[in-house]
Amino acid sequence: MPPLFKDTLKVVNVGLGAFADNVTAAGGECVRVQWQPPALGDRDAAWKLAQAFANESIDRANEVAFARFLEARPVLAGIATAREVVPGMGSGRRLVLHAGPPIAWTSMCGPMRGAVLGAVVLEGWAGNLEAARRLLDAGSVEVEPCHHHAAVGPMAGIISPSMPVWVVENAVGGNRAYSNFNEGLGKVLRFGANDAEVIERLRFIARDVAPAIEAALRNLGAIELKPLIAQALNMGDEVHNRNAAATSLLVRQLGPALLASSFARERAAAALAFVAGNDHFFLNLSMAACKCVLDAAGDVPASSMVTAMSRNGVNFGIRLAGTGETWFQAPANAVDGLYFPGFSRDDAAADLGDSSITETAGLGGFAMAAAPAIVRFVGGAATDAIHHSLRMRAITLGSNPSFTLPSLDFAAVAAGIDARKVLDRGIAPVINSGIAHREAGVGQIGAGVTSAPLACFVAAIKALVETIGSRGTE
Amino acid sequence: MPPLFKDTLKVVNVGLGAFADNVTAAGGECVRVQWQPPALGDRDAAWKLAQAFANESIDRANEVAFARFLEARPVLAGIATAREVVPGMGSGRRLVLHAGPPIAWTSMCGPMRGAVLGAVVLEGWAGNLEAARRLLDAGSVEVEPCHHHAAVGPMAGIISPSMPVWVVENAVGGNRAYSNFNEGLGKVLRFGANDAEVIERLRFIARDVAPAIEAALRNLGAIELKPLIAQALNMGDEVHNRNAAATSLLVRQLGPALLASSFARERAAAALAFVAGNDHFFLNLSMAACKCVLDAAGDVPASSMVTAMSRNGVNFGIRLAGTGETWFQAPANAVDGLYFPGFSRDDAAADLGDSSITETAGLGGFAMAAAPAIVRFVGGAATDAIHHSLRMRAITLGSNPSFTLPSLDFAAVAAGIDARKVLDRGIAPVINSGIAHREAGVGQIGAGVTSAPLACFVAAIKALVETIGSRGTE
C-alpha cells in the first residue's frame, strides 16, 4: 500500500465544496478554501483579463486616473435650480433625470415610474398623475440618466428642471457635479411616492429649504467636503446609509450662519428644522462629492478604474475611466437586509439608485468599518462591517489617505476599484443600500447589503481590451 | 535524580517578574501571569476586604444602589444663575466652588489658584488679581468643593455665584445636579487662566450664551440626556475627552429652536457660533448628567458602589454610596498622555477636575471602545481603547444597557464600580483626562489616560467595614 493511504491525510479543498463534503463524510478533516475560476469561468473573458493584466498601458492609465481621483477637492460651491445649471436641462425641455443606466419609460420599475409621474405633476406639465401617465405613454416627456448630466440622485434619482440642486465643484480640476435634495424617510418621491403631500414637500424644499441654506452658505463661503466627510467617518458614518454625523456637522455650520443671515426668521426656522430632522440629509451631498471626484478621473483612455456603479431598478451598470460614457450592464443582485415590520423580500424592488457612487469612491460599504452602528440598519455584526472594508482592499488600486477608519487604527479606506482585480478575484464591490417597495407610492421597506454583479465587469474588461486593441500587448 | 529535573519544565510565574527572569535566563520558557496581592498587600485591608466580600448586606445594598443608578433619568431641566439654584450659594456668601475633595486656598495647585483669583475678579469682590489674592490670603473668600453643592466642574471646576449653570434633574428620583458652562480650549479659567480676555468670555457666556440657550430650551422643553449620550457613544464620543458628536447633536437641536425663538438675532448668532465652535461644549452637561445619576445612589448604607471620583490637583478622592459624603483620598497619579508641542510632563499639574464623574458613571475611559478616535488625543492604539472598556468589566457591579459600544457588537458599558472588586483585582478605574500646566494662566498642555490611586479604595473599604461593624459578618 502506498504511504499516502497509511498516513493521516491533511486535506485542503480549493473551490467546489462537494469534494470536501466527501472527505468530511468519511471522517476526515478538511480546510475549505473559497475559490472560483477568474472571470466567472468565461474562457474568452479570462483570456482578455490575462491580456489586461499583462498590459502596462493599463497600469500607467490607472496611475493617472487614481491620482486625479485622489487629488480632486470637492467643495460645496452653492445651490441652484436644476434648469439653470445642470448641463442639458435648460431651454425648456420636458426632461426628467433618473437613476442608473438608461432605461425607457415602459421598462421602468414601479418606484421609478411613480417618481417620474410625481415629477411631471410637480413641473405642472400635467394636472394630475393620470394625465402625467398619458404624457409619458405618448413620449411627450424625455427621460435620461442623471449620470449623463453630471448628476446623481438616490433611489429613483429623479431630478426635474424646477428642483433645487447642490452644486459641487472640484477645486482642482474644475468639473462640477449635481444632486437633488434629500426629502427624508417615509413617503417620498425617491421611493416612488407621489401624492399631494410628497409634491407639497418638494415645493417646500424649493421655496424655503434651498434658499435658506443658500443664505447660510453666503455667510459660510464654499464648504470643503472632504474634511467634513473625513470627520463623519470618525463619527460612525459611512456616508451612504448612515449620515447622522455628517448631517449634524452640516447643521452645526448652517445654524449660526442662518441666524447671522437676513433670511426671513420663521421660514429659516422651518427650513433648519427640516434639515435637522433628517439623519439622511447629507446623503445627496455625499453622492455629489463622490460623483465630482470620480468624474475627475472620468476619461483616461486604457484605465480599468471604475468611475460609476449605478442601478435603474432593473439593471446594474458600471463605467470605466478607459471606456468613458459606455455602460456595462447586468441584472441587479438582490439586497440581503433587514425589512421594516410587515415587509419581506417579496415586496422589494430590485436594487435601485445612483447612491452606489459612494462605494465607487471608496465610501459606503467600502468604509463600513467606520460605521459599526450601521449593522443595526442593514443587518450583521460589527465584525462584518470590518471584514467588508478589509475585503475591498483586494480589488482596489490603492487607498485614500483623506479618509481613515478608526477601528482599523486609522487605516485609509480602500478606493479606486480596478475592474481587473474584481474579475480576477471574484470579489464583487460591496454596496450598502436602501430597499424600496416594488410598487410605486409605498416607499422604503428596509435596508441591507448587496454587491455589484460580476457580469458587468466581464463585459467591461472585454470592451476595454478590445478598445486598446493589440497596442497594449506589444 | 527526581523526574522533575529530567523532564522539560513548563513554568507559569504568578506575580513578581524576577522569578520568571531567572527561568528565562537559564534558557527556559515561562508564561508570566500579572498578579499582585489584594489590597496592595495591606494585611488589615485584605482582612477587611475578605469581610466585605463575605457580607451579604453589602451585596443587597449594592443591588439597591446600582438599581437607583440605572433607573435614574437625567433631563436638562433648564439654565439658571448659580446663586439662584445651587444649594448653599445664595444669601450673598463670598463662596467659590472648586473641583475635587476639600482643599484650603493655601494648599491649592497653580491652575486652581489662578482660577479662584479669576472668579473673585469676575464677581467684582476685588478690582484686580492682586487685590483678589489679598482677599483670599485674609480668608475673606470661602472655597468649598462643587461636590458639596450637588455640582461638578471640569479641571479647576470653579463655580462662582454669578455664573450660569446647567440644571439637570433626575426625572425618577427628583434630585438635581449642576455644572458650569464650557469655555472652549486655550486660555480659559478652568485651566487657571484669568486675564481680561478670560473674564470677558465668562461675561459673554453669562450675558449671551446662557440666555440664548435658555430661549431655545423654552421651545424644546426638557432634553432627555440619556438618549443623547447613547447616540453620541454610537458616534465616536466617550463624552469625557471627546464630545464632538454630543455637541453636534445638541447644536442640531438648539439651532432650529433658537431661530424659532424671539431672542435677539445677532446675539443668538454669536451665542450659537460660540457653542458650535467648541467640540467640548457638551462635556459639562455630560458631567452634570453623570453626577445626577450617581447622586441618585448617593446614600445607600453598606453599599460599596463608588458614587464619586474627583481630583483637586493635589489629591484624588472617592466616595462610596455606603459612606455618604466622606472622602477617601490619596495623592493623584500622573497622567500618561500626549503633550502639545513645547510641553512635557515636567510642566504638568497633577491630575485635576471633577470630570472623572464620567468614569464613575461608566462613561469616559470606561466607554473608550466607543471612541477609537480618542487615541489621537490621549495616545495609544484603537485596540487599547477596546481593552480599557473590557478591563473595566472586572471591577463593576454590572453594565448599563442604556449605553452601548458599537465596536463590541453593542455590548453595554461596564458601570457601577465596586470598591471591593477594585481592591481585590488590583485593577484601578481608568480615567481619560486633560492635562493643565502647573502654573496658573498657561492653560491646557495635553491630554491622556490615568487611573484612580488604589490607596483611596483601601481607605474606603476599611471605613465601610468599620461603619457596618460586626453586623455584616454574623
B265 touches chain A (CB under 8 A): yes
- Chain A residues in contact with B383 by the CB 8 A cut-off are 409
- In angstroms, the separation between the Cα of residue B281 and the nearest Cα of chain A is 13
- In angstroms, the separation between the Cα of residue B235 and the nearest Cα of chain A is 4
**Per-residue pLDDT averaged across B78-88, rounded?**
97
Report the pLDDT value the prediction gives residue A37, as an integer from 0 to 100. 85
- In angstroms, the separation between the Cα of residue B71 and the nearest Cα of chain A is 24
Q: What is the pLDDT of residues B99-154, one digit of tens each?
A: 999 999 999 999 999 999 999 999 999 999 999 999 999 999 999 999 999 999 99
pLDDT tier for residue A471 given thresholds of 50, 70 and 90: low
Report the pLDDT value the prediction gives residue B445, as an integer from 0 to 100. 87
- In angstroms, the separation between the Cα of residue A386 and the nearest Cα of chain B is 9
Is the pLDDT at B275 greater than 50? The verdict is yes
Radius of gyration of chain A (CA): 23
Q: Under CATH, which number does the domain B74-288 receive? A: 3.90.1710.10
Report the pLDDT value the prediction gives residue B174, as an integer from 0 to 100. 95
pLDDT tier for residue A474 given thresholds of 50, 70 and 90: very low
Is the pLDDT at B472 greater than 60? The verdict is no
Read off φ and ψ for residue A330, nearest 5 degrees.
-155, 160
Query: B430-436 and B444-451 as β-strands: parallel, antiparallel, unpaired?
Result: antiparallel
Is the pLDDT at B470 greater than 60? The verdict is no
- In angstroms, the separation between the Cα of residue B341 and the nearest Cα of chain A is 22
Do B86 and B149 touch, CB atoms closer than 8 A?
yes
- Chain A residues in contact with B269 by the CB 8 A cut-off are 256, 259-260
Query: B315-320 and A74-81 as β-strands: parallel, antiparallel, unpaired?
Result: unpaired
**Per-residue pLDDT averaged across A144-155, rounded?**
98
**Considering only CA atoms, which of B430, B362, B366, B371 is closest in space to residue B402?**
B362
Q: What is the pLDDT of residues B13-64, one digit of tens each?
A: 988 888 889 888 888 889 988 888 888 889 999 999 999 999 999 999 999 9
d(CA B304, CA B464): 7
Of the two residues B172 and B439, the one the predictor is more confident about is: B172
> Which amino acid is present at B70?
L
d(CA B148, CA B98): 10
| Grid cell at residue B226 | 440619556
Q: Under CATH, which number does the domain A42-69+298-473 receive? A: 3.90.1700.10
Distance of CA B44 to the CA centre of its chain: 29
**Per-residue pLDDT averaged across B308-319, rounded?**
97
B407 touches chain A (CB under 8 A): yes
d(CA B230, CA B402): 7
- Chain B residues in contact with A236 by the CB 8 A cut-off are 234-236, 245, 406
pLDDT tier for residue A436 given thresholds of 50, 70 and 90: confident
Do B155 and B189 touch, CB atoms closer than 8 A?
no
Question: pTM of this prediction?
Answer: 0.93
Convert A391-450 into a string of H (helix), E (strand) and C (coil).
Answer: HHHHHEEEEEEEEEEHHHCCEEEEEEEEHHHHHHHCCCCEEEEEEEECCCCCCEEEEEEE
Q: What are the counts of helices (DSSP H) followed by strands (DSSP E) for chain B?
A: 17, 18
A268 touches chain B (CB under 8 A): yes
Convert B264-325 into a string of H (helix), E (strand) and C (coil).
Answer: CHHHHHHHHHHHHCCCCCCHHHHHHHHHHHHHCCCCCCCCCEEEEEEEECCEEEEEEHHHCC
Q: What are the structural domain ranges in chain A? A: 3-33, 42-69+298-473, 74-288
Q: Under CATH, which number does the domain B42-69+297-473 receive? A: 3.90.1700.10
pLDDT tier for residue B361 given thresholds of 50, 70 and 90: very high
B251 touches chain A (CB under 8 A): yes
SS3 assignment, position A132: helix
CB contact under 8 A, A249 and B249: no
Distance of CA B3 to the CA centre of its chain: 56
Q: What is the pLDDT of residues A297-320, one digit of tens each?
A: 999 999 999 999 999 999 999 999
The mean pLDDT value of chain A amounts to 94
Q: What is the pLDDT of residues A205-251, one digit of tens each?
A: 999 999 999 999 999 999 999 999 999 999 999 999 999 999 999 99
The mean pLDDT value of chain B amounts to 94
Q: What is the pLDDT of residues A82-135, one digit of tens each?
A: 999 999 999 889 999 999 999 999 999 999 999 999 999 999 999 999 999 999
pLDDT tier for residue B455 given thresholds of 50, 70 and 90: very high
| Grid cell at residue A1 | 500500500
**Per-residue pLDDT averaged across B455-471, rounded?**
89
Which of B228, B239, B248 to probe by mutation at the A interface, max A CB count within 10 Å?
A: B248
Q: What is the pLDDT of residues A57-74, one digit of tens each?
A: 999 999 999 999 999 999
B253 touches chain A (CB under 8 A): yes
d(CA B290, CA B279): 19
